[in-house]
């Protein structure tokens, strides 16, 4: 499954009105990407809980097909993550996921399994922060590596319905360019992400590109609300002889609504609901899911 990556730029604000712009760049950005350090923070640690249900799937031709009620699938994940500031404008982060899956069929019954997923190490550097130039957005570049620490499907052949599979079974490298700007209490973000993975089963997956757009509004108490949409597409895989594998390309669309609520100066809570639209042409060769996340973060200045 294409994993949608929400990567954006951490911004500063120096223009007037200072308080509203500072809120938008900090709380608003955190509502979009909870694991980011805010401007005054030196480090953070957090736990994100994720639950999703598979509503259906998209065929290779992009037709949406609802899941049969007798074949449910529910996915759960708990992400432990942390970030540390390096230099004045950079930060590095580590994410450790725990993944569980519940699947059922009339023939095999209901099964539940899971384990550790694929670890991710990433870094981001902000070249320009929002507000540093009135007519020029903040600019940041991110890069990350995902390690195949989870159990791939082929490594759990005796697992009923493959519920113990927790990883992609391949290394993945990711780079991203993020643009972000504040407009009073509003924040706007646009991010482009490119990912490449190593070969599996004699095939090399196509390059994956994700486009993310988000808008956030920050209240005076530093609470924030955000709406984001992402579209990911992946080209046909390449066979061992260098030819395209027909009908292997993938597409996925995700719409997310999120909210941030500060708990004092050191804690914050972020909740989000996401949905892959159950519509034709919204995806291909992918499951369509809907669910929610809840994230608790502790920061240090």
pLDDT of residue 32 exceeding 80: no
Cβ contact 92:123 at 8 Å: yes
Sort 3 into a burial class: Cβ within 10 Å, 0-12 / 13-18 / 19+.
middle
User: Does any domain span residue 178?
Assistant: yes
221-276 confidence digits (pLDDT tens): 889 999 999 999 999 999 988 899 999 999 999 999 999 999 988 999 999 999 99
The CATH number for 97's domain is 2.40.160.40
User: Residue 23: what pLDDT?
Assistant: 52
User: Does any domain span residue 211?
Assistant: yes
User: Does any domain span residue 3?
Assistant: no
List the structure tokens of 75. Answer: 């996915």
User: Does any domain span residue 6?
Assistant: no
Give me the percent of the chain exceeding a pLDDT of 70. Answer: 90
Average pLDDT, integer, range 68-95? 95
User: Does any domain span residue 4?
Assistant: no
How far is residue 217 from each of residues 50, 220, 287, measured CA to CA in Å? 24, 10, 31
User: Residue 202: what pLDDT?
Assistant: 83
pLDDT of residue 9 exceeding 70: no
User: Residue 36: what pLDDT?
Assistant: 87
List the structure tokens of 125. Answer: 């550097």
Query: How many structural domains are present in the chain?
Result: 1
The 10 Å Cβ neighbour count of residue 129 is 23
Rounded CA-CA distance 301/290 in Å is 35
List the structure tokens of 171. Answer: 């290394």
Give me the percent of the chain exceeding a pLDDT of 90. Answer: 74
Cα atoms found within 13 Å of the Cα of residue 251, Cβ hemisphere only: 17
Rounded CA-CA distance 247/162 in Å is 24
Rounded CA-CA distance 35/157 in Å is 35
Cβ contact 140:127 at 8 Å: yes
User: Does any domain span residue 51?
Assistant: yes
CA angle 289, 109, 274 (to 5 degrees): 10
**Which ranges in the chain belong to alpha helices (H)?**
18-23, 29-32
How high is the mean pLDDT of the chain?
Answer: 88
List the structure tokens of 144. Answer: 């990350």
User: Does any domain span residue 1?
Assistant: no
User: Residue 55: what pLDDT?
Assistant: 97
Query: Which domain does 37 fall in, by range?
Result: 18-300
User: Residue 26: what pLDDT?
Assistant: 67
Rounded CA-CA distance 37/298 in Å is 11
User: Does any domain span residue 11?
Assistant: no
User: Residue 167: what pLDDT?
Assistant: 94
178-188 confidence digits (pLDDT tens): 999 989 899 99
Rounded CA-CA distance 106/71 in Å is 7
């Amino acid at each position: 499954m294409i994993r949608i990556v929400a990567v954006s730029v951490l911004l500063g604000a120096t223009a007037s009105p200072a308080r509203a712009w500072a809120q938008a760049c900090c709380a608003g950005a955190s509502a979009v990407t909870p694991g980011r350090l805010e401007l005054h923070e030196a480090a953070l640690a957090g736990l994100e809980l994720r639950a999703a249900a598979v509503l259906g799937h998209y065929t290779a031709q992009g037709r949406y097909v609802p899941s049969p009620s007798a074949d449910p699938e529910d996915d759960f994940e708990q992400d432990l993550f942390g970030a540390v500031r390096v230099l004045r404008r950079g930060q590095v982060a580590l994410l450790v996921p725990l993944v569980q899956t519940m699947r059922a069929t009339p023939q095999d019954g209901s099964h539940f399994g899971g384990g550790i997923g694929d670890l991710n190490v990433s870094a981001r550097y902000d070249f320009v922060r929002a507000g540093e130039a009135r007519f020029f957005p903040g600019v940041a570049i991110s890069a990350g590596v995902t390690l195949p620490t989870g159990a791939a499907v082929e490594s759990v052949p005796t697992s009923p319905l493959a519920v113990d599979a927790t990883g992609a079974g391949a290394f993945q490298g990711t780079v991203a360019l993020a643009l972000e700007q504040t407009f009073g209490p509003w924040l706007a973000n646009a991010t482009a992400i490119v990912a490449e993975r190593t070969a599996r089963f004699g095939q090399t997956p196509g390059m994956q590109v994700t486009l993310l757009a988000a808008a956030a509004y920050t209240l005076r108490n530093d609470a924030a609300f955000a709406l984001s949409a992402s579209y990911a597409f992946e080209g046909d895989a390449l066979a061992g002889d260098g030819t395209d594998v027909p009908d292997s390309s993938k597409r996925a669309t995700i719409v997310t609504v999120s909210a941030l609520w500060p708990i004092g100066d050191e804690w914050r809570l972020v909740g989000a609901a996401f949905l892959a639209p159950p519509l034709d042409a919204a995806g291909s060769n992918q499951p369509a899911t809907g669910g929610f996340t809840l994230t608790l973060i502790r920061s240090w200045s």
